[in-house]
Amino acid sequence: MPAQTNWLTSDLEHHLHPFSNARAMSDKRDVRLIERADGVYIWDGEGRRILDGMSGLWCVNVGYGREELARAAYDQMCRLPYYNTFFKTTTAPAVTLADKLVELTPAGLNRVFFANSGSEANDTIVRMVRLYWELEGRPERQTIISRTHAYHGSTLAAASLGGMSNMHGQGGLPLPGFDYIMPPYHFGLARDEDPEAFGRRAADALEAKILELGPEHVAAFIGEPVQGAGGVIIPPASYWPRIQEICRKYDILLIADEVICGFGRTGRWFGSDTYDIRPDLMPMAKGLSSGYQPIAAVLVGDRVANKIVDEAGEFAHGFTYSGHPVACAVAMKNIEIMEREHLVEHVAELAPYFHEGLSSLADHPLVGEVRTVGFLGAIELVKNKDPIEAFEPPVGRVGTLCRDHCVDVGLVMRGVRDSMVVAPPLICTREHIDELVDKARQALDLTLADLKQAPATAGA
Ligand SMILES: Cc1ncc(COP(=O)(O)O)c(C=O)c1O
């Protein structure tokens, strides 16, 4: 690390940040150093304590400062810091974790393929799905249907699976073989419609798309149980049952991306448990190790796994660090902590309190809607509440302004378009939730004050 006074200059000169506007950061010399963390708090370079309402990037589910996880990594590094899982070899941590993941996930998911990130897990899935249909003698079943505002990662295939227009706008994406339907985004798309009727209509868009493409060309549908990075889009209850019905009707594989929803975030072990989804494939990452080590897994259902095991010969795919022993040991310890501290039950128990707390912000002049499930929440910011009116473009100006004010008052919330999203560590107590809500209100007040002063330029 360069001398304390030079880190900012070095960062701006040499470090290209993900999902960041380097020019704007450089011009405004706008980078924040995070120095340490403990529990639900992070501390920045100026010694300021900030409540991490985003668990890092939706991942530090067991909170920061867990020495047990550091010790698990240390012990494993001393015993066996690395060995691969290619060429008929395995390691105890990889086997133990695979076993545990099969136990925790819904029935029928009996095989595990390890990767290092959610993006790699989803790339793996694209290859598995296409291989499956090739082995079925249906190689024309190529297209995977996803949704607008979906986020499935940043590699070429994962970004193609995602439905983010800003990502597709760079680098010639999506690749061929991906298509999109509307998300079940009631507030954004149809707030005057009955939510359950809208949920069915949003799901029926899948059937319409399958018929448009021709069922013989469709390989799979992918969806996050709750769309996270797309703005915590919580589906109406009618949505997933109908989606599953349609997948079955047309014999389409179903992929539930659990990278955010997995490991307790929605108050059950997996979002698939919360919404009664029975997927054929389930990618997971983030909460698997609470972000202490990079690791991801694809849980593969019997239908796909048996085909690949029995008929593919060698599956020509894998990563140097697939099943990395240190990452697997840390993930295993992380799951042990979650079980010992009953963190999933804790989220389920406090979810109504979290909902009530966040919903208390609905009376704020800037808030058009609050929605939550488990420890996931979104606060929609609007220019006018009655009737609801969105801010003038560019979209995201007010969300970014509010996000920056959150940090000013000691809270991390993320801005997605002009909404704020939260996903605090699962160890949050009632007091932490109170603090989060208080600070969110302060940030909303500061945002409102800016907008009153200069309505169209604030945050620009
Ligand atoms: C649902 C979902 N899938 C996949 C990914 C990609 O994961 P990673 O950033 O580990 O590649 C993310 C990341 O936020 C995600 O939210």
Q: What is the pLDDT of residues 120-177, one digit of tens each?
A: 999 999 999 999 999 999 999 999 999 999 999 999 999 999 999 999 999 999 999 9
For every residue of 17-72, DSSP letters joined together read PTT--HHHHHHHT----EEEEEBTEEEETT--EEEETTHHHHT-TT-B--HHHHHH
Predicted local distance difference test score (pLDDT) of residue 5: 63
Helix-helix angle 325-340:67-79, to 10 degrees: 150
pTM of the model: 0.97
**Minimum mean pLDDT range among 1-15, 85-99, 112-126, 282-296:** 1-15
**119 C-alpha to center of ligand 1: Å?**
6
Give residue ranges with CB within 6 A of ligand 1.
117-119, 122, 151-153, 224, 228-229, 257, 259-260, 285
Closest-CA residue, ligand 1 atom 3, reads: 152
Model confidence at 235: pLDDT above 70: yes
Helix 239-249 to helix 195-213 angle (10° resolution) is: 20
The amino acid sitting at 54 is: M
CA of 265 to the centre of ligand 1 (A): 14
Cα(152) to centroid(ligand 1), Å: 5
The residue whose CA is least distant from atom 13 of ligand 1 is 153
The DSSP bridge partners found for residue 419 are 380, 416
Q: How confident is the model at residue 1 (pLDDT cuts 50, 70, 90)?
A: low
Alpha-carbon span 248 to 228, nearest angstrom: 25
For atom 4 of ligand 1, the residue with the nearest CA is 152
Q: How many CB atoms lie within 10 A of CB 205?
A: 18
Distance 251 CA to ligand 1 centre (A): 26
Most ligand 1 atoms within 8 A of CB, residue of 19, 54, 57, 119 to mutate: 119
Structure tokens at 172: 């010639």
**How does pLDDT run across 278-289, given as a tens digit for each residue?**
999 999 999 999
Residue 294 Cα: closest atom of ligand 1: 10
Q: How far is the CA of 129 from the centre of ligand 1 (A)?
A: 19
Predicted pLDDT of residue 3: 55
- Alpha-carbon distance of 175 to 177, in angstroms, equals 6
Distance between Cα 296 and ligand 1 center (Å): 10
Structure confidence by residue, pLDDT tens digits, 101-127:
999 999 999 999 999 999 999 999 999
Ligand 1 atom nearest the C-alpha of 58 is 14
pLDDT attached to residue 53: 98
450 CA distance to ligand 1 middle (Å): 33
User: Which ligand 1 atom is nearest residue 155's CA?
Assistant: 11
Q: Quick one: CA torsion of 225, 146, 206, 131, rounded to 10 degrees?
A: -100
Which pair of tokens denotes residue 432? 């932490």
